[in-house]
A and B are shown apart, each in its own frame.
Chain A
Amino acid sequence: MSLRSAHKLGTGLVAGVAVLSLAACTGNTAADDGGTQAGGTSEAEQGSNDEAGDTVVIGFSAPAADHGWMASITESAREAADAYEDVDLRVAEGTNDVNLQISQVETFINDGVDAIVLLPFDGAAMTPVALQAMEAGIPVINVDREFEDPNAARVTVLGDNYGMGVSAGSYICSELGDNPDAVVAEIAGIDSLPLTQDRSQGFEDALGECGLDVDNRVAADFTVEGGERAASNLLQAAPQIDAVWNHDDDQGVGVLAAFENAGRDEFMMVGGAGSANAMRSIQADDSVLKATVVYPSTQGADGIMMARLLVQQKAMGDLVEVEVPREVQLYAPVVTADNVDQFIDTAFES
């Protein structure tokens, strides 16, 4: 259904990426399964996969919950684990220190857990220890930030960062397309992360399709303070703007505050990640924020579900395959006032 709405918005460009939408955990299927996030497509009956099996010990490690999206990663992982009595989830301290995160994974290896779900602070930096886990026979489920070596993970759950940029760019094209001189600005997240580079690349490519380009680009750090700072700088640099894409709705709180303080509202803004308050704002149509691009914060939960299936040697429902797939990439739909009702219940709180 999200594809249909994307078409309706004239943003059908999003194809080209292998998109495997995993059951209810993405924003694609609305809120009909409530808070449990338990698997199965919305219409289908709960599959036998949900029946309790052998207890699975899963080690989980993610970066520090210093923004709403990241907090929701761990929270939704816990929720997913709580929904199954056969999952024993061990959550390590969220940290942005790769040295510490490595030692957490080492601890999981020493402990002999059944599987490790890992959202690395820096994918490349966590690759050696993930390889070590795989060599020790512990399947690693890599979430969101990819390892350097494909052998370091059994399953990779990815959002579509490039696709986010494409979705945002296509939407802006559809809104401003007839004006080739339109000024487009971009407020990126942490620039050193490959995910930011992918988002920007997708954005640039999609804008290029309709003859637009990024006139002003600043980078923040996914925090409210960082967003406020970056947006203030942007406003100084660009006296007139037609459209802004802000990569992340957490920093978007600061971005909107900066716009408000400067009294600037001559442009439209598109958000990113898909926070609940951004969606409420879109629903109420009370600010320059007209749309946001979802980057599911439930990927950690997806990782937990996959880990459980993997260890219990179950296959993924709705697929013919005997084994759990190697990679699952989620979709990045555009949320506007027209379809916000479908997404708001799975959105994360900033």
Chain B
Amino acid sequence: MSDDTEVSPGRGLPATAVPVSPTDPTTGTAGGERPARGRLGGLSGSGLVRNLGLVLALVILCVVGLVTTGERFGSTANLLTILRLAAVTGVISIGMTFVITGGGIDLSVGAVMALSSVWCTTLATQAMARDTHWIVMVGAALAVGAACGLINGLLVSYGKVVPFIATLAMLASARGLAEIISQRRTQIVDVPGFTDFFGAEVVGVPVIVIMFALVAAIGWVVFNRTTFGRRTLAVGGNPEAARLAGINVQRHTVLLYVQLGLLCGVAALMIISRTTTGTSTHGTLIELDVIAAVVIGGTLLAGGRGTIVGTVIGVLIFTTLTNVFTLNNRSTSEQALLKGAIIVAAVLLQQRFAARSKSP
């Protein structure tokens, strides 16, 4: 497996897989080159082919949609429906790509999103928002998300609790706290400025879709063009080597969980604007959709390899699938079956591509 291919920025290095080079990750600058492609020669082929495969899958889905339902699928309104659906899962998936690439996992995203949504819509927060500015609610959602992420990160990096368990604990307690705060009721948002802003459209594009696009763009730049991104790959690929290279692995791990928590806060804002409610049931089981999207996108669950573009396409594949099924009036069970098949097929294909490109 060429797990660590994208770890090494290795200027001018040959195309074969190179283990994490201790000095590389910290050198940081991308030198203005396009990452992955130009520098990694043959290995970029696997990335390219991988993404091509995903794009192909998405195109096939769209063709199926167009053939079976024609204009109903292709209309602008329907595309926006798909994107609005994708936005919430998408934003969290971008953050999850970083965490998984960095060798971790976060099962608590849905619960953290629920807690954020509840905290941000309590009567007290809303009253404060009406008295001052609705931005208070945004601050509350982001702060709660980031705080949960911080706890996750500290537990994982300094407490040495394995990510699976640390975030499982957060999953349980964040939703529990959300239930306590909301008294298990649905809290309705009545702050006009807030709903006006997030429910608005800019040149026909809903604000939450723009937010998703922004998060994806920023995520891509950070992942591919910054020291932070390179360190993430290094930490996930080989933490010991990363440590020897002078990366503060523990601090970096904390930051990874904090950014994901922050994005859960963003997702909470999106779901609040979509439903005008905050409840402890928001985001139930969303972690599974998120992890599935990240994995079919091509990010290695073991860490050390990741792709933001792949994740975005992964999210779009699942939401488009749902849309095509709804348009065709097909049953739930068929869709669940197909989703499972897609996950397996995507992972099997990736392994084959990876194996092939390793021995050209």
Contact = CB atoms under 8 A, between A and B. Distances in A.
B81 A192 contact: no
Given A90-B329, A128-B276, A103 B286 contact: no
Contacts of B280: 192
Interface of B: 72, 75, 77-78, 81-82, 84-85, 88-89, 179, 182, 184-186, 188, 199, 271, 274-277, 279-282, 284-286, 319, 322-323, 325-327, 329, 331-332, 335
Interface string A120-160: 01111111100000000000000000001000000000000
B84 A106 contact: yes
A91 B275 contact: no
A268 interface: no
A92 interface: yes
Interface string A84-110: 000000111110111110111011011
Contacts of B78: 107, 110
B277 A91 contact: no
Given A93-B325, A107-B323, A107-B327, A102 B274 contact: yes
Nearest to A60: B329
B275 A98 contact: yes
Nearest to B178: A192
B281 A103 contact: no
A159 B271 CA distance: 28
A100 B81 CA distance: 10
Given A122-B186, A128-B274, A192-B185, A100 B322 contact: yes
Contacts of B82: 103
B171 to A, nearest CB: 16
A110 B81 contact: yes
A126 B332 contact: no
B322 A122 contact: no
22 contacts: A65-B332, A91-B329, A93-B326, A93-B332, A98-B275, A99-B88, A99-B89, A99-B275, A102-B84, A103-B326, A107-B323, A107-B326, A122-B186, A122-B275, A122-B277, A125-B186, A125-B276, A128-B274, A192-B184, A192-B185, A192-B280, A192-B281
Given A99-B274, A111-B72, A192-B184, A93 B335 contact: yes
Nearest to B332: A93
A191 interface: yes
Interface residues on A, range: 20 to 34
A103 B72 contact: no
Most buried by B among A94, A97, A99, A192: A99
Contact of A124 (B199, B277, B319, B332): B277
A126 B329 CA distance: 21
Given A124-B275, A128-B274, A192-B186, A97 B286 contact: yes
B186 A124 contact: yes
A100 B322 CA distance: 9
Given A97-B286, A98-B275, A103 B75 contact: no
Most buried by B among A97, A100, A104: A97
Interface string A236-249: 00000000000000
A97 B284 contact: yes
Contacts of B81: 103, 106-107, 110
A103 B327 contact: no
Interface of A: 64-65, 90-94, 96-100, 102-104, 106-107, 109-111, 121-128, 148, 191-192, 194, 197
A192 B279 contact: yes
Nearest to A125: B275
Nearest to A112: B72
A143 to B, nearest CB: 18
A97 B110 CA distance: 11
B253 to A, nearest CB: 29
Given A96-B281, A148-B276, A192-B179, 7 more contacts: A91-B329, A93-B332, A100-B85, A103-B326, A125-B277, A148-B188, A192-B280
Contact of A99 (B182, B188, B271): B271
B276 A103 contact: no
Nearest to B271: A99
B186 A103 contact: no
A98 B282 CA distance: 8
Contacts of A91: 329, 331
Contact of A103 (B85, B188, B285, B331): B85
A111 B324 CA distance: 12
Most buried by A among B75, B280, B281: B281
Contacts of B84: 102-103, 106
B271 A98 contact: yes
A124 to B, nearest CB: 4
A109 B72 CA distance: 11
Nearest to B77: A110
Nearest to A131: B276
B272 to A, nearest CB: 10
A197 B183 CA distance: 11
A90 B78 CA distance: 16
A64 B274 CA distance: 20
Nearest to B179: A192
B129 to A, nearest CB: 18
Contacts of B329: 90-91
Contacts of A65: 332
A96 B284 contact: yes
A204 B89 CA distance: 41
B153 to A, nearest CB: 26
B210 to A, nearest CB: 17
Given A93-B322, A102-B275, A106-B81, A111 B286 contact: no
Nearest to B72: A111
A148 B77 CA distance: 26
A59 to B, nearest CB: 9
Contacts of A64: 332
